Chain A
Amino acid sequence: MSKRHLIESAFFDSFDELNEMLPAEKHLSKDSSTIVAGESSHLDSLMLLNLMIAVEEKLKNRISLEFSFVEFIANSKEPEISVEMLAEHLVNNGDQRA
């Protein structure tokens, strides 16, 4: 399984956990184009925080990758952040901290 696939799996498994708490119309689609932060995201501030924690934990436990989701998002100049953008960043930056 490629590193990208493992990273996306960490997101999509976290989506499953969050979708249990979200109304059907706000469910996160397990698609790499899903926007997780920004104006068009389905997540409010608290849910985004929960996603950050869930993803960071999975990346650490599954592939020993330490990543600060909150610092990446805060420092990004992009108005919207997708799973694909995060995965791209993590693949290209190896095991470095974000």
Chain B
Amino acid sequence: MDLISAHWERRNLNLETGELSFQSSDTIEDLSPGLFENYDYLVAKVPNGSVQLVHDLESRGFRFIEAQFEISVDLSQPTLISGAVESLMAKISCYPLNTEAQVKSLSNRITAEMFAVDRVSIDPELGLELGAQRYRNWISDEFKSGKAFIYELRLGQTAIGFFVLRQLDEKILFATLAGLYSEYKNKGLGLSIVFKPIQWAKENGYTRIKTRNSSNNSESFKIHLSCGYRLENVSYLLRWKRGERNKISEGALKCPNVI
């Protein structure tokens, strides 16, 4: 089991955060009780199929929050997108955001609704506004890293969304973030935030894009698959939060198996 102190989450969530990454050979005995004293918030990543470990973590107060799909697209393969869709996507252009002021302006457009199914946003202990703030900070950090390509998507002169790609090596990118601005959701533009980064990466000589997709965002997952992404791995994510109120819904209390 690996532990990373996620110092950046102190600013995002105002919580001392640790990220635990379990291997399939790990058991609950690998979890040091001292962790619960050192951290306010722990996120545990558990390999696919390790159901016993999931249940053991739940018995220690962790709560399941999402399954995480690791996916990637091989850019040397022919596109799965039809010519008609490509023509439609050609109306959308990528505009680079290279200055701090431009990135700040992008951050200012991040609203609570944009990432409503993110694991922080859907967590009743954290919520939409913290989720949005975390994304604003994330965009800023990506810009400061000097390893990210940040683009705004524009339909004509209208900015509709953005994407962020991080360079992993000379040929491989990681799609860190992407989103449509709130007013352009539910308007059939979702494909653009997956398709346009692929197009950009191909034009710039990259051979693969990797990313992660939450099980809570099935719409995004479907779009990624339609653009040629393939599933590589699945993990379960659980989280523990100090002082969490033990909220059990009224319906659950009526279930005979709940004590």
Contact = CB atoms under 8 A, between A and B. Distances in A.
Interface of A: 37-39, 41, 43-46, 48-49, 51-53, 57, 68, 70-71, 73-75
B88 A53 contact: yes
21 contacts: A37-B188, A39-B186, A43-B188, A44-B219, A45-B189, A45-B223, A46-B222, A49-B85, A49-B188, A51-B188, A52-B88, A52-B188, A53-B88, A57-B84, A68-B91, A70-B88, A70-B91, A70-B187, A73-B187, A73-B188, A74-B160
Nearest to B184: A74
B52 interface: no
B231 to A, nearest CB: 18
Contacts of A75: 158
Interface string B82-121: 1011001001000000000000000000000000000000
Contacts of B189: 45, 70, 74
Contact of B158 (A41, A46, A52, A74): A74
Contacts of A41: 186
B223 A70 contact: no
Interface string B158-194: 1010000000000000000000000010111111000
B124 interface: no
B88 A49 contact: yes
Nearest to B220: A45
Q: Which of A39, A44, A70 has the most B CB atoms < 10 Å from its CB?
A: A70
Contacts of B184: 74
Q: Give the interface residue-count category, chain B.
A: 20 to 34
Interface of B: 82, 84-85, 88, 91, 155-156, 158, 160, 184, 186-191, 219, 222-223, 226
Nearest to B155: A74
Contacts of B186: 37-39, 41
A71 B156 contact: yes
A38 B187 CA distance: 6
Given A38-B186, A39-B186, A57-B84, A46 B155 contact: no
B226 A46 contact: yes
Contacts of A52: 88, 188
Nearest to B226: A46
A47 to B, nearest CB: 8
A57 B84 CA distance: 9
A68 B156 CA distance: 12
A49 B191 contact: yes
Nearest to B188: A48
B85 A37 contact: no
Nearest to B183: A77
Contacts of B91: 68, 70-71
B188 A71 contact: no
Contacts of A51: 188
B188 A53 contact: no
A51 to B, nearest CB: 8
Contacts of B223: 45-46
A22 B155 CA distance: 28
Nearest to A52: B188
